[in-house]
């Protein structure tokens, strides 16, 4: 039965080599197949053209390649592309291609739904169904790279883990996927072009530092005042800012990598001078920069972007304190592909 077969991409290179030796072939055949799977991102065994027909048949009899399928692709007026991605068990996640003049960025999902309950986020309403496997994360990147080459005539240049789910709650699989994306035997992308964005899980930030990861770290901060942050990101009651601060200081001491704070300014929630002051103090704990992100209201409209005076106040206060600040316009709003909007609505 098809479903009883193992996904070949769950095997390490060593296990693939062993498989071939145990089946009367040579170990290097495992290397060839591994290259097809992770470097050439083969969809089927048929694609493996330098492998003999008999061997491909033998692989077919023993394994499957549970490749994702892009069920629906939507294109925004601004060029952004949103993929609704069907997984082998029928569940769906979303990933987004964001083109700018010089870059193509993939925003990928790490979980189906999310176990955290950020009040401003559409994904939070889906609840967490399961973690994505490393290959399911890898496949989202490959699909977007192919779209980037097709529609923009250039390869994918950057990846952000900012789609559905909290990547640090699926840490091992995210790391395995990044390994395949960055290793020369995989896609060979530089880890410097990858950013993992977390809502801030202190223990896991410390673990990343201990693991000496080479990719960047962004934290969805949104408030540096516990009371306010807990009201919009309830898990902050469990992981308060002092724990987050300690973890980020640890991260910087080990990696010397600047931290990016993602920050939305909402009307009536975090739009006062007091809020901006707290952010500035928080930024001083470890070298950091701030991305002020434009917000896209989700259905009930409870959260609304603050007015431009509030944004200008933040910008001028941050600049006066020599903290780099960038205003990030949201992309793909018309197809619900913008930050916080991913909710499998298509």
Least separation in angstroms between CB 230 and ligand SF4: 13
Indicate the angle between helix axes 134-152 and 171-182, nearest 10 degrees.
40
Active site residues: 94, 339
For the chain, the C-alpha Rg in angstroms (whole number) is: 21
Task: Identify the DSSP state of 257.
Answer: P
- Applying CB under 6 A, among 97, 98, 116, 178 the residue interacting with ligand SF4 is 116
Q: Are 71 and 95 in contact (CB under 8 A)?
A: no
What is the pairing mode between strands 6-7 and 63-64? parallel
Q: Does 64 bind ligand SF4 (CB under 6 A)?
A: no
- Applying CB under 6 A, among 30, 134, 165, 186 the residue interacting with ligand SF4 is 165
- Applying CB under 6 A, among 199, 270, 288, 296 the residue interacting with ligand SF4 is 199
Q: Does 147 bind ligand SF4 (CB under 6 A)?
A: no
From residue 8, how far is each of 22, 207, 312 by CA, in Å? Answer: 16, 29, 53
**Which of 81-89, 110-118, 182-190, 314-322 is the region at the interface with ligand SF4 (rule: CB under 6 A)?**
110-118
Query: Is 280 or 342 the residue whose CB approaches ligand SF4 more closely?
Result: 342
Cα separation, 165 vs 197, in Å, equals: 10
Q: Does 114 bind ligand SF4 (CB under 6 A)?
A: yes
Cα separation, 78 vs 337, in Å, equals: 11
Cα separation, 65 vs 49, in Å, equals: 16
Q: Does 118 bind ligand SF4 (CB under 6 A)?
A: yes
Q: Does 187 bind ligand SF4 (CB under 6 A)?
A: no
Q: Does 112 bind ligand SF4 (CB under 6 A)?
A: no
Closest by alpha carbon to 76, among 93, 106, 101, 97?
97
Least separation in angstroms between CB 67 and ligand SF4: 24
Least separation in angstroms between CB 282 and ligand SF4: 18
Binding site for ligand SF4 (CB under 6 A): 114, 116, 118, 121, 123-124, 164-166, 199, 220
């Amino acid at each position: 039965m098809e479903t009883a077969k193992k996904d070949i991409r769950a095997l390490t290179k060593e296990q693939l080599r062993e498989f071939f030796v145990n089946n009367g072939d040579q170990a290097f055949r495992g290397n060839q197949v591994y290259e097809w799977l992770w470097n050439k991102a083969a969809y089927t065994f048929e694609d493996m053209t330098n492998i003999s027909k008999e061997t491909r048949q033998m692989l077919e009899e023993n394994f499957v390649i549970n490749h994702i399928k892009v069920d629906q692709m939507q294109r925004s007026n601004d060029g952004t592309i949103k993929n609704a991605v069907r997984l082998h068990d029928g569940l769906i996640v979303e990933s987004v291609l964001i083109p700018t003049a010089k870059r193509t960025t993939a925003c990928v999902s790490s979980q189906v739904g999310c176990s955290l309950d950020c009040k401003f986020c559409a994904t939070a309403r889906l609840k967490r169904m399961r973690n994505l496997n490393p290959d399911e994360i890898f496949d989202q990147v490959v699909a977007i790279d192919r779209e980037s080459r097709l529609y923009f005539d250039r390869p994918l240049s950057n990846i952000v883990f900012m789609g559905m789910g909290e990547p640090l709650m699926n840490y091992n699989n995210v790391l395995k996927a990044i390994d395949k994306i960055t290793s020369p035997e995989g896609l060979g992308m530089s880890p410097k072009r990858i950013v993992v964005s977390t809502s801030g899980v202190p223990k896991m930030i410390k673990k990343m530092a201990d693991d000496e990861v080479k990719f960047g770290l962004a934290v969805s901060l949104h408030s540096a005042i516990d009371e306010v942050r807990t009201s919009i990101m309830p898990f902050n009651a469990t992981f308060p800012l002092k724990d987050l601060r300690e973890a980020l200081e640890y991260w910087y001491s080990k990696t010397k990598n600047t931290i990016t704070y993602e920050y939305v300014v909402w009307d009536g929630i975090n739009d006062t001078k007091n809020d901006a002051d707290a952010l500035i103090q928080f930024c001083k704990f470890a070298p950091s920069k701030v991305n002020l992100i434009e917000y896209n209201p989700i259905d009930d409209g409870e959260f609304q972007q603050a007015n431009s005076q509030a944004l200008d106040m933040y910008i001028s206060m941050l600049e006066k304190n020599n903290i780099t600040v960038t205003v990030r316009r949201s992309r793909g709003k018309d197809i619900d592909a913008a930050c916080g909007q991913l909710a499998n609505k298509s």
